Chain A
């Protein structure tokens, strides 16, 4: 205790020092070894009865009528790359605002940060070949109590957009200001092949806040929604007469319009609530935030009535830090058709899918295969996770796995025109020569999350990449943490995962985010096409991202 002596001067005896400390700190240090072995504990949320409320869906984002101009100054075409080539056919007036919501009838009202007053935000139903412009207006108050920031920047996750419309942390929208986002809705490679490479089509995207240092707080508080893209193949119509159409189960619910809708987006966020039932977050927890209430589309443990037919579920892990191992409680098989934004080369029959933060699983489930006596099935998470650093790697027994959503299966079989084709989207060619190979190590130094030993400085370019070239990146991690690594702009192809080929697995398509577990190594091939400007790669455990686990890379002409 030499330092204790010097800290308080000779006049403070060891006894008074200890007494003072004990008075101040209480008895919680008595078993210090034990308490040190534990990570931060958080209060338990109030009890909520499961399955008392139906699953809800956001309404579609509605474009302005063609005759109605955007409110405010006209769009500046010079502010956007390829604006003339992709002149917007649709304009959206979009508001970010505070809104009250109750995720469960037994919980209190929480003040959320939202897109257009709802969580998840309105669903964008976009189509390839139809460019759009979204005027994002920040109408949040100047200050919001507790966690979160009223400043935002909206990133369309997995979007192939210009840097100026990517919603990266280089932009920051204060309350009372707006920004025009130009979404070209074109396949990557459009500067090399007219119309772009159709094999690069992406379908299940989502949009969320990307504000530097506050992404976790803002997304958790409600700033997230689905951005779905359709084309002639994934047309969103199971009755499509086009012979090229996949005719997957179709019909995305639009608010309360849920009849005959079989393409169901499910946004998973785990939340925690205080004793008053108000959403809470431990913002001092740098490992990651874990909630004890699993929500689907912003509701705690809702139910969903399904018909005896095929459904497409687009499951999104919207974080902030939880990993999922999604099963059905009866262990039934389903078709895994899509990974992140894209469709796989072929559907994979499986009984579970694993999701890291920001990963999506596109699955088709056939409830008509269930025995007539089965009227209830649950969506469960069997990934064990005890802290925000990542899952333990253990698979929970089915009976002990937390339930997310209850499916109430209707009795009678119904007609089902949908199908799951034997082949979907082949992997795009790796036809661009590799200009450079880079190594990125996601690690930890001095209690900070770092990439290649450095914390983020968004004024520093960590990689300058020539436009319309390809690179190979070796991404690795170490320590006791899992890092879902997300690269903006383009999807990549995994060449090897821990030295093994991923062909024929669910990783055999394309990815925009991939979960690296301790000691993992991934080698990816990635093209950088069409745009120039600043982009980022970061850990999508958004708590890690907010604490500097990010790099900036630029595409240069």
Chain B
């Protein structure tokens, strides 16, 4: 196992020639402009409101009903730079926990539970659920990779350990509802959250449960983010949780009841 920190793929550390420097100075501006135009076109098509209120943990629900967060820059266990909204949230179904590689508290237990839950779901779901672990301690890619290797998660489809600036992770943590109003408590690593936030972004479905609970419960609750008719039958989860109802003979889905006359 290499202990050298992995580098973000888009970072250039070599000395640049004058031409390259010039190109480097102009090109990002051009790309930014083009990107901005393309983004604006996309946003206009989607009816997106790009203005995120200037408060911690803020998000905006767009015209299409999906949620938009600040597009934080993060790095994963392989050193790849990813953007929070674009790469991790947009159109995804995911479960997110907050932890750090050198935690001596609840983190490893949480990870084991989440891994067990993902294995219950994994094959049946063809890995559409992403599992994100956000680093609370600005872990290096090497530390994150080592942590994942220790838990048998490195290389596992859908799993990512993500690090970023304290401010970025704090913003994401607050956005997911794991903020404390008391600053000392909020930044106290030994008291960090043991909850998992799960999300079905296309339908803006959000819920949370303890990551330290029964993996079968965690797996079932994650499944429930999906529309009812898109869930697979998973034998290992049958009867593990709640008892379902009896099928209604000849049932057909019904449209919503229109508003009352005086509504």
Taking Cβ atoms with an 8 Å cutoff, the residues of A that contact B are 1, 3-4, 6-12, 17, 20-21, 24-29, 32-33, 35-41, 43, 56, 72-73, 97-102, 109, 111, 114, 117-118, 136-139, 141-147, 149-151, 153, 169-179, 212-214, 217, 274, 280, 282-286, 387, 445-448, 455-460, 546-548
Contact across chains for A109 and B248 when beta carbons are under 8 A apart: no
Q: Whole-angstrom distance between the alpha carbons of A141 and B212 in the complex?
A: 32
Contact across chains for A21 and B165 when beta carbons are under 8 A apart: yes
Q: Whole-angstrom distance between the alpha carbons of A27 and B171 in the complex?
A: 12
Contact across chains for A175 and B5 when beta carbons are under 8 A apart: no
Q: Whole-angstrom distance between the alpha carbons of A4 and B137 in the complex?
A: 9
Which A residues are in CB contact (< 8 Å) with B253?
A: 139, 141-142, 175-176
Q: B residues 162-187 with Cβ under 8 Å of A?
A: 163-168, 171, 174-183, 186
Binds A, one of B65-73, B118-126, B147-155: B65-73
> Taking chain A's interface residues, is the majority helix, strand, or loop, or is none over half, making it mixed?
loop
Assuming the A-B contacts A12-B11, A100-B256, are A171 and B243 also in contact, with contact meaning beta carbons closer than 8 angstroms in the complex? yes
**Cβ distance A299 to chain B, nearest Cβ, rounded Å:** 9
Q: Whole-angstrom distance between the alpha carbons of A151 and B229 in the complex?
A: 12
Q: Whole-angstrom distance between the alpha carbons of A547 and B193 in the complex?
A: 12
B232 contacts chain A at the CB level, 8 A cutoff = no
Contact across chains for B227 and A28 when beta carbons are under 8 A apart: no
B115 contacts chain A at the CB level, 8 A cutoff = no
Which A residues are in CB contact (< 8 Å) with B52?
A: 26
Assuming the A-B contacts A36-B183, A286-B195, are A151 and B224 also in contact, with contact meaning beta carbons closer than 8 angstroms in the complex? yes
Assuming the A-B contacts A97-B256, A446-B191, A447-B194, are A179 and B208 also in contact, with contact meaning beta carbons closer than 8 angstroms in the complex? no
**Cβ distance A178 to chain B, nearest Cβ, rounded Å:** 5
For residue A169, which residue of chain B has the nearest CB?
A: B242
Which A residues are in CB contact (< 8 Å) with B90?
A: none
Contact across chains for B259 and A100 when beta carbons are under 8 A apart: yes
Contact across chains for B247 and A102 when beta carbons are under 8 A apart: no
The 10 closest A-B pairs by CB, nearest first: A177-B245, A3-B138, A447-B193, A143-B227, A284-B177, A6-B140, A99-B257, A117-B257, A172-B242, A11-B13
**Cβ distance A172 to chain B, nearest Cβ, rounded Å:** 4
Q: Which one, B163, B209, B259, contacts A101 given CB within 8 A? A: B259
Contact across chains for A459 and B240 when beta carbons are under 8 A apart: yes
Contact across chains for B207 and A171 when beta carbons are under 8 A apart: no
**Cβ distance A287 to chain B, nearest Cβ, rounded Å:** 8
**Cβ distance B208 to chain A, nearest Cβ, rounded Å:** 6
For residue B176, which residue of chain A has the nearest CB?
A: A284
**Cβ distance B15 to chain A, nearest Cβ, rounded Å:** 12
Among the interface residues A1, A4, A448, A457, which one has the most CB atoms of the partner chain B within 10 A? A448
For B, the interface residue count at a CB cutoff of 8 angstroms equals 97
Q: List 8 A-B contacts (CB under 8 A).
A: A9-B11, A99-B259, A142-B227, A142-B228, A446-B194, A448-B194, A456-B210, A456-B213
Q: Whole-angstrom distance between the alpha carbons of A16 and B52 in the complex?
A: 23
Q: Which one, B72, B105, B177, B183, contacts A37 given CB within 8 A? A: B183
Q: Which one, B70, B164, B242, B262, contacts A26 given CB within 8 A? A: B70
Additional pairs, 5, CB under 8 Å, beyond known A3-B166, A171-B244: A6-B5, A21-B168, A143-B227, A149-B205, A171-B245
Which A residues are in CB contact (< 8 Å) with B191?
A: 446-447
Assuming the A-B contacts A26-B54, A175-B228, A176-B251, are A40 and B174 also in contact, with contact meaning beta carbons closer than 8 angstroms in the complex? yes
Assuming the A-B contacts A102-B263, A178-B246, A459-B240, are A114 and B257 also in contact, with contact meaning beta carbons closer than 8 angstroms in the complex? yes
Which A residues are in CB contact (< 8 Å) with B197?
A: 284
Contact across chains for B140 and A176 when beta carbons are under 8 A apart: no
Contact across chains for B228 and A150 when beta carbons are under 8 A apart: yes
Contact across chains for B259 and A102 when beta carbons are under 8 A apart: yes
**Cβ distance A349 to chain B, nearest Cβ, rounded Å:** 37
B135 contacts chain A at the CB level, 8 A cutoff = yes
Which A residues are in CB contact (< 8 Å) with B240?
A: 459
Q: Whole-angstrom distance between the alpha carbons of A17 and B168 in the complex?
A: 11
Which B residues are in CB contact (< 8 Å) with A145?
A: 65, 203-204
B18 contacts chain A at the CB level, 8 A cutoff = no
Assuming the A-B contacts A26-B70, A177-B248, A448-B195, are A6 and B143 also in contact, with contact meaning beta carbons closer than 8 angstroms in the complex? yes
